Amino acid sequence: MKGHLFHLHLHLHLLSLTTGFFQLWTRTPYLSYSKMAFPCFYPLYSLPPLTPAELHRYSRHIVLPDCGLIGQKKLKSSSVLCIGAGGLGSPILLYLAAAGIGHLGIVDSDVVDRTNLQRQIIHSDADVGRLKVDSARDSILALNPSITVTSFEEELTPSNFSPIIDRNWDVVIDGTDNFPSKYLISDACEFLSLPWIYSAVQGFTGHLGVFNYGPDPISYRDFIPDPPQPGDVPSCAEGGFWVLSQGLWELCRPLRS
């Protein structure tokens, strides 16, 4: 019972850490990342200008007191790496592109299968058989052609993570569906002091959290110290999940980015 309460408390703490993330990102007058992964200061004049078309596109952001013109410029100057372009990665990639994140990175080695289309909304029926990174890039640029997309057509492994996850990214998004990848992302981001946003969905439930962020950062290994034994957690193909459960969880993640 004590262990269950600990994990419940820790999970609630993880969720509470995320509530001010977007506001801090957009309100802080200057934003960059140091080795400690906290906002540090650089002059406002280094923020990229917005074109007239961008001012019009993001006008509903700019009128928000918690965002404003400076906040939108910071979104344009930011870089987010999303590892996985499947069920978890699809919604957040689209929302971050729509929000005006200036540079999006996508890591995935898989191809689109028709069974993906029930939940992986960044892909369409015409994309079946295509690489997910290509399909996702085309959907992102169709939505917002002014942003930059970098694709990594490979699976993240211990031998190749170093050139992919580096300090050029402001935030890393976990869109993977297996524990080894999540622990690898955790260890790489902890080593680089990069904040990363975690999500997992199974059936009708899910988890959402931010790691390596704030004055007392929490690690994924604090949340789940040991991976489950093989077979303890069913795969998506084995256990399935309800598409609206995934959608509701992923709708929360852009605010955490």
Q: Per-residue DSSP letters for 151-208?
A: EE-S---TTTHHHHSSTT-SEEEE---SHHHHHHHHHHHHHHT--EEEEEEEBTEEEE
pLDDT at position 233, please?
A: 61
pLDDT at position 60, please?
A: 95
pLDDT at position 188, please?
A: 95
250 touches 91 (CB < 8 A) = yes
Q: Where are the beta strands (DSSP E) in 23-177?
A: 79-83, 103-107, 148-152, 171-174
User: Which amino acid type is present at position 64?
Assistant: L
Instruction: Decide: residue 190, CB within 10 A, 0-12 exposed, 13-18 middle, 19+ buried.
Output: middle
pLDDT at position 28, please?
A: 41
Strand order in the sheet with 79-83: 148-152, 103-107, 79-83, 171-174, 196-202, 205-211
- pLDDT tens over the chain, length 257 residues: 333 333 333 333 333 333 334 444 444 433 333 333 334 334 555 899 999 999 999 999 999 998 999 999 999 999 999 999 998 899 899 999 999 999 999 999 999 999 999 889 999 999 999 999 999 999 999 999 999 999 999 999 999 998 999 999 999 999 998 889 999 999 999 999 999 998 877 666 777 888 988 888 888 899 888 887 776 665 555 555 545 555 454 455 444 55
For the chain, the first-to-last Cα distance in angstroms comes to 33
pLDDT at position 22, please?
A: 45
Indicate the domain borders of the chain.
76-256
Distance between CA 253 and CA 99 in Å, rounded? 12
pLDDT at position 128, please?
A: 98
pLDDT at position 228, please?
A: 73
236 part of the active site: yes
**Taking the CB of residue 227, how many other CB atoms lie within 10 A of it?**
14
The residue from 67, 189, 236, 252 that is catalytic is: 236
Phi–psi pair at 5, nearest 5 degrees: -65, -40
Distance between CA 14 and CA 20 in Å, rounded? 12
Q: How far is CA 177 from CA 44, 45, 167, 181, 182, in A?
A: 39, 40, 24, 8, 8
pTM of the model: 0.78
Fold of 76-256: Rossmann fold (3.40.50)
> Residue 119 CA to chain centroid, in angstroms?
17
pLDDT at position 232, please?
A: 62
Distance between CA 28 and CA 71 in Å, rounded? 8
Query: What residues are paired with 107 via a beta bridge?
Result: 83, 152
